[in-house]
Amino acid sequence: MADSLQTSAFKPLVYKNIAALYNERGEYEEANSYISEAMRDIEVEESLYSIYFLKGDIMNHLNKKDSALYYWNLAKYSFDIETKASAFDRLFELNKEQSRWREAALCADSFIVYFDSIQASAYRAEIGDLMDNHQLEIHKYALLKEHQLAKKKMIYCFWGLFLVLALIYMWRDRCRKNKYIALQKQLNENRAEIMMLSESSAPIEEKSAELHDLKEKNLQICISLFEATEGYKKLNELKNMKPGKRILKIQDYRERIIGDIRESFLDVMNNLRENCRSLTNEDLFYCLLNLLHCPKDLLLGIMDASSDAIKARKHRIKDKMDTVLFDKVFGSDNQKLM
């Protein structure tokens, strides 16, 4: 609309009003753009001071304190007493905020002088319109108090929300740690049971069945431990990514995922090694990825290997491992790579 006006005298005023509207709505970058246009085209000197004041207000909202100080210092030379008083008021607040007490005191004194002058002018004008002006002042004061109250409420709400979120985070973190400690305790108890059963003199068939159940339980505990790690989160994040983005991220996550898997599944790796001592660490890690149902393309990226190399590794493991254990690791529930 402002660009469509041909009369240059009106354009700065329109730009200023648009800037004021954006400033009230909290869209300070847009407000700054329009007020800059108004400053460039303004021709009436007195209007320029009010633009300086609004420019300072916008700069202050953008946290550009030095620029705000500069424009409010220009605005204080306005011929309009209310603009001068407002400028000194803003300068007082800004200097007080930055601990420039001498300047703040001078600005406060100037504000009081001009405010008193405004009040005196208002009193002189009250001869004809005393009640209306009185009601207006009451309304302004009420609006100021309402604004201050709303600001305080917003601050209290913010800190209240922050405190609630902090408490929720601490509670969840504590629950996670307690769960991890409980899983570690279960794992230690499971290890002890396996060790005691291995050394017992119970019949072989009965012992084998119980050992199988204990090792199954051991696997589930290890999976639960892994699910509490950052590596598990990274692995799920990669699973949910699009293939193109996954390729870029997998190298960044690879070390963390491998470390957490090896740490969480130490007992499972030892059990596999006991059943098949010729397996290498890479073979054991490949078995773990299959037990975790890792997709083929993700598995290739984590192991940093080609599809042919993985196929060869699987054939080699099949030759070394007994059929029952191989079917368990590479069964139909896991991802097929052949």
Determine which of 127-131, 249-253, 255-259 has the lowest per-residue pLDDT on average: 127-131
With respect to residue 185, please indicate whether it lies within any of the assigned structural domains. no
pLDDT tens digits along 93-104: 888 888 888 888
CB 51 within 8 A of CB 42: yes
**Mean pLDDT value of segment 327-336:** 61
What pLDDT is attached to residue 43? 65
Report the half-sphere exposure of 210 (CA within 13 A, side-chain side): 17
Domain's final residue, options 52, 70, 99: 99
With respect to residue 192, please indicate whether it lies within any of the assigned structural domains. no
Residue 106 has pLDDT above 60, yes or no: yes
pLDDT tens digits along 196-250: 766 666 666 666 677 677 777 888 888 888 888 888 898 888 888 887 788 888 8
Segment 109-116 long-range contacts (CB within 8 Å, at least 24 positions apart): 110/76, 110/84, 111/85, 114/81, 114/84, 114/85, 114/88, 115/85
**Mean pLDDT value of segment 153-169:** 88
With respect to residue 202, please indicate whether it lies within any of the assigned structural domains. no
Residue 169 has pLDDT above 60, yes or no: yes
More confident residue, 174 or 286: 286
pLDDT tens digits along 121-142: 777 766 666 566 667 788 888 8
CB 134 within 8 A of CB 111: no
What pLDDT is attached to residue 333? 45
With respect to residue 220, please indicate whether it lies within any of the assigned structural domains. no
More confident residue, 325 or 312: 312
| Separation CA 338–CA 329 (nearest Å) | 14
Residue 163 has pLDDT above 80, yes or no: yes
With respect to residue 215, please indicate whether it lies within any of the assigned structural domains. no
Band (pLDDT 50/70/90 cuts) for residue 174 is: confident
| Separation CA 317–CA 337 (nearest Å) | 13
| Separation CA 57–CA 72 (nearest Å) | 8
Q: What is the dihedral of CA 151, 157, 158, 160, to 10 degrees?
A: 140
| Separation CA 305–CA 316 (nearest Å) | 15
CB 257 within 8 A of CB 246: no
Domain's final residue, options 65, 99, 133: 99
With respect to residue 240, please indicate whether it lies within any of the assigned structural domains. yes
Please, what is the average pLDDT of the chain? 80
| Separation CA 88–CA 76 (nearest Å) | 6
Whole-structure pTM over 0.75, yes or no?
no
What percent of the chain shows pLDDT beyond 70? 83
Total structural domains within the chain = 2
Domain's final residue, options 31, 64, 99: 99
What pLDDT is attached to residue 128? 60
| Separation CA 293–CA 179 (nearest Å) | 24
| Separation CA 216–CA 271 (nearest Å) | 11
With respect to residue 235, please indicate whether it lies within any of the assigned structural domains. yes
With respect to residue 269, please indicate whether it lies within any of the assigned structural domains. yes
Q: Provide the residue range defining the domain that includes 72.
A: 2-99
